[in-house]
């Protein structure tokens, strides 16, 4: 249980650090300081900085998707209309940064590279 808590703290701290500083600017030491974890915890849980970065991106995306309400279409809604509505809801929720703005900042940084 403690290992899972540490892993989640590292993911959150890494997401924030990578969002603010980018991959090159973020350091394992800075991430661990932010997470209140030992530097060796990154190697134990993720292997290296690159794997931590990938996990932080997945975590940020998953958190954003989890915040989105599931679409509720009336019976008989055409597939094109469902797709349009789904895209609209996804885009609106992805750019709504009220909850955790660092997540969107991290995802946008990754897309910009």
Enumerate the domain spans of the chain: 2-112
pLDDT in tens, 41-80: 999 999 999 999 999 999 988 877 766 677 788 899 999 9
Residue 62 CB neighbour total at 10 angstroms: 12
The structure tokens listed for 68 are 């989105």
CATH of 2-112, one of 1.20.1250.20, 1.10.357.10, 1.20.1090.10, 1.10.10.60: 1.10.357.10
Nearest-angstrom CA–CA distance, 82 and 38: 47
Answering whether pTM is above 0.85, one says no
**Residues 109 and 18: beta-carbon distance below 8 Å:** yes
What is the helix, strand, coil percentage profile of the chain, to 5?
A: 75, 0, 25
């Amino acid at each position: 249980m403690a290992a899972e808590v540490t892993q989640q703290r590292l993911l959150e701290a890494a997401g924030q650090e990578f969002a603010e500083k980018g991959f090159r600017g973020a350091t394992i030491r800075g991430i661990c300081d932010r997470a209140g974890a030992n530097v060796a915890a990154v190697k134990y849980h993720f292997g290296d900085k690159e794997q931590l970065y990938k996990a932080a991106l997945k975590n940020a995306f998953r958190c954003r998707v989890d915040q989105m309400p599931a679409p509720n279409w009336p019976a008989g809604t055409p597939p094109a209309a469902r797709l349009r509505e789904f895209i609209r809801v996804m885009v609106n929720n992805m750019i709504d940064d009220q909850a955790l703005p660092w997540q969107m900042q991290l995802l946008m940084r990754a897309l910009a590279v």
